Structure 1
Amino acid sequence: MKDVTKNAIFKRLNGDFEYYARYQRIKQISSRVRVSEYLITTACNIRCKGCWFFEYDFDKRTKDLSKKDEIKKFLISERNRGINTSLIIGGEPTLHPKRLELFAEIMEFNSISTNGLKALPKEGFKDFSVLISLFGGGSLDD
């Protein structure tokens, strides 16, 4: 990195070396992240008003991929093309922990988008990032 750019970043962080060191660590990690989004189910345990998945009929236009060997083969092909990070969405992905186990086994980094009503099993999922979706409807979602 050019000194001018390095100095500009350091100045922007108010000269805080700790923030700058953290910035450098995050930059180093993020430079190796190759992410893709995976819809693993059309099932959901609730129907939030305003949920994009059901509002736009994705549940009707999308087919569940449920065979373990097909999912594993697909994820290995994704890893082979350089994808190392998954964002797992659905319906509600936590309804299918066996499918999630395949992501834990094959992908380096995993994030799951969930409504939070069904917990992930503690065993095997400690490194998952969990994103909880909240829907309030209308302007509350904006």
Structure 2
Amino acid sequence: MRWRLEEDMIRIHQVNFIINNICNLKCKYCYINTSNNYILNNNRILRDKIKKFIRVMKENQIKSILFTGGEPTLFPWLDDILKYSKKHGFNNILITNAFLDLTKILPYLDSVILSLDGSKSAHTLLRENVESYDRVIFNLNKISEYKKKGNNLECIINTVVTSSNLSLIESSYKELLSKEFFKNAVNKVKLSKVSNEGKVLEHQELLVPETYQKFIRDIADRLTELSNYKIIFETNLFYKEEFFINFPSSYNFIMPVWVDFTLNSIYVDKKDIIYEIDGFKRWDNKIFESFEKIYYKIIKNIEDKEIFDPYEIMNVS
């Protein structure tokens, strides 16, 4: 085999905490099965369990924790959890739809990833809540004000590119780049190809890979240049050689370790549960074997592809 994975290449610096599975929006492309399990979401035992696992991650020399859901801002003790994580020396990363006011928790974040799918019309088209766009803009203004005071916070916009908004992406961001608050707040925009699972199938938002690939990479380059390189626009696509040149740093990004408190499970691939959260103490060979399995799965499926989406390939059996 041309490419080889060595065990000493595996360095787990970040874990992703799924702290709930409820959401206040219904995005047409969502790949997550959200629910109305407010009993789980409001459970103090879960809060204490998350805190305990933060201590376990400290013992395992993890440096960063990404908090997601569902929608993590609906978790009643999110600010408490973030403070606790920060107290233990972690870099805190939050993925959110930014519907709720984030001002209170900004001091406990090192990075925040907000969902914004272009202009107001494009963004609203992909979700059922007409207020969502204005709420995101509100929070971007708050982040801009926060950073103007000298506070450090990385702000990343995640735009999911679907068949509905593909043609609107470039014009949407040209408009946003003319806004001072946007340029002050945002460090990076990630143009992510829509997933091929979940609600997207019902709403027919899928993209033909060939339609998306080079087109969206060209847009990313043009928008980065338009921002005078102040905001980096990137995609979740790799040229084959580029992927392996960046290996293994890109490797850890592609295959993060998920700590799913809604399922009491730890996994790299959701189809392959590695550990239960209860009783977990430290990483062992099982985590390496799971990384290796997915890695070879990727290798097997990219030999004839110039540009590829690793997330999509991970779903190939």
RMSD, aligned CA:
2.9
Choose the corresponding residue for 1:36, options 1, 10, 15: 15
In structure 2, distance between residues paired with 1:125 and 1:112: 10
SS in 2 for 1:126: helix
Choose the corresponding residue for 2:101, options 110, 119, 142: 119
Between 1 and 2, higher relative CO (CA 8 Å, sep ≥ 6) is seen in: 1
Q: Which residue of 2 aligns with 1:51?
A: 30
Normalising by structure 2, we get a TM-score of 0.29
In structure 1, distance between residues paired with 2:97 and 2:27: 9
Note the residue ranges of structure 1 that are not aligned, 5 or more in a row.
Answer: 1-32
Please tell me the residue identity of whatever aligns with 2:17. Answer: Y
What do residues 30-66 of structure 1 show as CA deviations (whole Å, max 9, x unaligned)?
A: xxx921111111011111110122xxx3x36xxx574
SS in 2 for 1:48: coil
In structure 2, distance between residues paired with 1:74 and 1:100: 16
For structure 1, which segment, 131-140 or 36-45, has the greater mean C-alpha deviation from structure 2 after superposition? 131-140
Structure 2 residue 71 is the aligned partner of structure 1 residue 92: yes
In structure 2, distance between residues paired with 1:121 and 1:76: 26
1:106 Cα deviation after fit? 2.3
1:127 Cα deviation after fit? 3.9
Q: 1:97 to 1:125 in 2, by over 3 A?
A: farther
In structure 2, distance between residues paired with 1:116 and 1:51: 16
In structure 2, distance between residues paired with 1:77 and 1:101: 17
1:118 Cα deviation after fit? 0.6
Note the residue ranges of structure 2 that are not aligned, 5 or more in a row.
Answer: 1-11, 118-125, 127-160, 167-191, 194-317
In structure 1, distance between residues paired with 2:103 and 2:77: 10
Q: Which residue of 2 aligns with 1:138?
A: 162
Normalising by structure 1, we get a TM-score of 0.60
1:100 Cα deviation after fit? 4.1
Please tell me the residue identity of whatever aligns with 2:73. Answer: T
| Alignment of structure 1 residues 53-68 onto 2, 5 Å | 53=32, 57=33, 59=34, 64=40, 66=43, 67=45, 68=47
1:97 Cα deviation after fit? 4.5
Q: Which residue of 2 aligns with 1:81?
A: 60
SS in 2 for 1:102: helix
SS in 2 for 1:118: coil
Please tell me the residue identity of whatever aligns with 2:13. Answer: R
Matched-pair contact (CA < 8 Å) for 2:95–2:112: yes
Question: Identity of paired residues, percent?
Answer: 30
Q: Which residue of 2 aligns with 1:105?
A: 84
